Amino acid sequence: MFLAASAVLTAVPALHAPAFGAPAEKKKAAPRPQEPRALPPEVVIIGAGAAGIAAARRLLAANRRVVLLEAAGHVGGRCITDTAIFGVPYDRGAHALHMPDINPLAKLATGSGLDIYPAPPGQRVRIGRRYARESEMEDLFAALVRARSAIAEAARKGDVACSQALPKDLDEWRATVEFILGPYGCAKDLTDISAVDFTRSAERDIDAFCRQGLGALLARLASGLPVQLSTPVTRIGWAGRGGVEVETAKGKIEARAAIVTVSTDLLVSGKIRFTPELPKRQLDAAARLKLGSYDHVMLELSDNPLGLRADELLFEKSDGQRTASLFANVSGTALCMVDVAGRFGRDLAAQGERAMAAFAVDWLSGLYGNDIKRAVKRAHATRWNDDPWTLGAFSAAAPGGQPSRRILMEPLGNAVWFAGEAVHESLWGTVGGAWESGERAADAALKMLAARR
């Protein structure tokens, strides 16, 4: 900067120099124009997952000043699309858009330039080394219907564990029903799930997928937002008259309001300190909505040795908890996703990626023969329970804990709102639910800002 200024001064033409012997006048440097000082944000959003992105878009559309703080080095939260591991899109977290006809994300995706397409109908079941016959599939569907009806009936009388409500005569299909309704659908075993929460869950039997990845869609929707990555929040002060004070390793930010979209497990972990402390009412609510365990073991299988269609879903007729689901030939690629969840999935993930891949290969070999082992080119497993900024997959209320979702919707001091998939009574566990929750929190913050003005 100094060298550039000197060059300008020495280039002044000689005719402007004072006469010989005359006292030289000191030239005053022209005042430098001052850049306008950036106004502080009105709302700080903590977490750039689906809820945070939705909240930021809603607030910016209302011409409000926003900053979006993300602890990880990427946007999307539990929606990450990786293209480096296999060379094709690989959703390491959420993959499906449920009920696309009414899903807000599906509507936004239509104008995003990405390819959204419907999932094929139905699923298949493997019984040993063969596929279930039509009559056997009918038996399984009937058992699922009876189980759901029994849980709904129990929920009308009180909030018990889903496992307590199951019919006693599910017989040979009991383990399969428990896996489909529990670990596969809710990331927890039925003994750990509220019957009321389960019953209030919205329909999720029609799906759509993004060929470029659901994480890629969220990244597209976050384009242009004022995001600060790798900026974990360490403290939120929320009792000040002026609003909130949010502290990070990079400094403090003062704002009128904050929207907190981190997971329930992160809330109770103490990684973010609240001053005053987070009320026991909210802490207890978050604890009753702890995240379940749900992980992908992705296998790259050459030449489609399973003989399945693109995006085909498969279960096995199991006799215990050591089971999984298969999502074959993802978006027409050679990737096959083996999903492990619930208590078994948590224990397996704790053993590490090698053990997870070994289980997935052995499980498929038991269903299709040992030739599968030779078809595996590469493997990768997610371990969401060890992700430092998430600590799990998605929420499911513990027995008696369903009211906790509404408790988490309550603001702190009319200055802090919580959002995310756990803060939605019927779309919990979904990206669409997180998105709607973020928009709701943004609307509440807008009302507060308008009232104070």
Domains in the chain: boundaries: 43-76+222-291+390-452, 120-205+292-386
Distance set, CA 292 to CA 40, 182, 281, 288, 382 (Å): 38, 10, 21, 11, 14
d(CA 361, CA 297): 9
pLDDT at 366: 97
Q: Which residues pair with 255 in a beta bridge?
A: 244
Tell me the average confidence (pLDDT) per consecutive run of 10 residues in the chain, 453 residues long.
30 30 45 62 98 98 98 97 98 96 90 91 95 98 98 96 96 97 98 98 93 97 97 93 91 96 97 96 97 98 96 97 98 98 98 98 97 96 98 98 96 96 97 98 96 77
Q: How many angstroms separate the CA atoms of 187 and 396, rounded? A: 8
Cβ count near 7 (within 10 Å): 9
Distance CA 105, CA 218 (A): 9
Strands 335-341 and 294-301, bridge-based pairing: antiparallel
C-alpha–C-alpha distance, residues 235 and 342, integer Å:
32
DSSP summary character for residue 181: I
Token pair of 390, please?
Answer: 């998430």
Residue type, 57: R
DSSP label at residue 223: T
Tell which CATH architecture fits domain 120-205+292-386.
Answer: Alpha-Beta Complex (3.90)
Question: What is the rounded CA–CA span in Å between residue 181 and residue 162?
Answer: 9
CATH of domain 43-76+222-291+390-452: 3.50.50.60
Strands (E), 47-168: 66-69, 81-82, 90-91, 96-98, 116-118, 124-127, 130-131
Q: Kindly state the tokens that stand for 69.
A: 């703080």
CA contacts within 13 A on the Cβ side of 408: 35
CB 416 within 8 A of CB 244: yes
> Considering only CA atoms, which of 56, 73, 104 is closest in space to residue 223?
56
Give the closest residue to 393 by CA, choosing from 53, 47, 55, 79: 79
**Residues 55 and 419: beta-carbon distance below 8 Å:** yes
Task: State the Cα–Cα distance between residues 412 and 196, nearest whole angstrom.
Answer: 26
Tell me the CA end-to-end span of the chain in Å, nearest whole number.
43
Beta carbons of 24 and 18 less than 8 angstroms apart: yes
As to burial, measured by CB atoms within 10 angstroms (0-12 exposed, 13-18 middle, 19+ buried), residue 311 is: buried
CA distance 64 to 68: 13
Q: What Cα–Cα distance (Å) separates residue 429 from each residue in 8, 106, 199, 322?
A: 63, 16, 14, 23
User: Residue 437: what pLDDT?
Assistant: 98
- Would the pTM count as exceeding 0.85? yes
Tokens of 274: 């609240």
What is the predicted pLDDT for the residue at 324?
98
Decide: 197 and 401 in contact? Cβ < 8 Å.
yes
